[in-house]
Amino acid sequence: MSEPYWNHNVHYQSLVMKLVPRGCGRALDIGCGDGLLASKLAARVPDVTAADRSPEAVALACERHGHLDNVSFVTADYLDDPHGLLPEGKYDFISAVAVTHHAEFRQSARALARLLAPGGRLVVIGLALNRSPSDWVISGTAQVVSRLLQLRHGPKSGPGQAVPGTPPVLSWAETGRLAREELPGCRYRRLLLRRYLLVWDRPDQ
């Protein structure tokens, strides 16, 4: 399936989709942006909620994918949801792509964990900071690969950011350490294109 545009986040959406568990009934995409990932989830999951704290992003998502009957687009902040738009403990699958670095990591991880149903799965594609020599070596390689992929898929011609960009403050190693502390048993690894993958299955209890 051809993507409408390409960037690092879109590149890893296929990886997110591979990690959707079988029999998933309810999915939540945090920081949904223009709704592209939510539209893909809708083809696999009966009930999808796509949430973003930016009303402009949600309006764009509705414009592009509002025809999907099994997707609800909501303006909500998963860190501060006083109206209960995102009920805790209800989602079998949660995706968060380029979201967690906008907040303190522990706060973000705990908020996402609360939303997940027992036995559910959390998948985070996140950003971190280069600090070690090996970080910079990987980053240099990523720059070359990224350029080749841009030439193959075309320029980053997707919609502009509705939420101002926030640079990460944690290194790759620090992020991994905190992830294992907050989400025991999680799987964490660095991906090539300036992202990491974090997968956590909430204990079924």
164 has a pLDDT exceeding 70: no
CA–CA dist 152, 6 (Å, integer)? 10
- Report CA dihedral (90, 92, 97, 102) to the nearest 10 degrees: 30
Confidence (pLDDT) at 3: 83
Residues 62-92: tens digit of each pLDDT: 999 999 999 999 999 999 999 999 999 999 9
Question: Given phi > 0 = left and psi -120 to 50 = alpha, else beta, which region is 88?
Answer: beta
pLDDT above 60 (res 156): no
Q: Could you say which DSSP state residue 102 is in? A: G
End-to-end Cα, the chain, rounded Å:
38
Tell me if 197 sits within 8 A of 125, measured CB to CB: yes
For residue 197, what are the contacts with CB-CB under 8 A and spacing of at least 6?
12, 15, 123, 124, 125, 187, 188, 189, 190, 191
Strands (E), the chain: 26-30, 47-52, 71-75, 91-97, 116-126, 187-190, 196-201
Q: What percent of the chain has pLDDT over 70?
A: 93
pLDDT of amino acid 6: 86
